[in-house]
Amino acid sequence: MENDSIRASGTNTLIDLWINGNLRGICVSEEAIGAFVGFAQSANMSDKDRCEFVRKNLPLVMAAAKARLATDPSADALVIDAGQLPRPDGRGGDRRKEDRRKAERREGERPKADIPHPDRRRGDRRTAERRRSPKSKKPG
């Protein structure tokens, strides 16, 4: 690959690639690189480091570009943004370090009588057996 086909422009990295018989301009955003390597690490990357990242991960960039071309095959310019570069560990490009929801969302176990909601039932709905025994059925 030629040296001038991968270049930095602001926070984006631009590439000229032949894909499906056409020369296409591909723009890889800083967010896409950050979602792949980690946002803390990508914040410290220089323009040269981002160009080197794109050069080393060119098959990933081409796969993302081909996926974008599946929706618009006549596009000459493509933008690859956060979450569009497939990660090797299978995770998406997400900034969160942990799950949004906790395993148990309730504050604690309180008796139903202590809950201040006015429509809350005072007791359990079913206190007896759910099914009657077959002997208690009336002949029909």
- Per-residue pLDDT, averaged over 75-81, amounts to 90
pLDDT of 126: 63
Residues sharing a CB contact under 8 Å with residue 48, sequence separation 6 or more, in sequence order: 8
* Dist. CA 17–CA 14, nearest whole Å: 10
- Per-residue pLDDT, averaged over 7-11, amounts to 89
User: Nearest-CA neighbor of 55 among 14, 11, 9?
Assistant: 14
Q: Which two tokens stand for residue 4?
A: 């001038």
* Model confidence, pTM: 0.58
At residue 94, the 3 state secondary structure works out as coil
- Per-residue pLDDT, averaged over 26-36, amounts to 91
Burial of 28-37, coded b for 16+ CB within 10 Å and e otherwise, reads: bbbbbbbbbb
User: Nearest-CA neighbor of 86 among 100, 55, 72, 65?
Assistant: 65
pLDDT of 125: 62
* Dist. CA 27–CA 10, nearest whole Å: 11
pLDDT of 55: 92
Q: What is the pLDDT of residues 94-103, one digit of tens each?
A: 555 565 665 6
* Dist. CA 36–CA 46, nearest whole Å: 16
| Predicted confidence band of residue 51 (pLDDT cuts 50, 70, 90) | very high
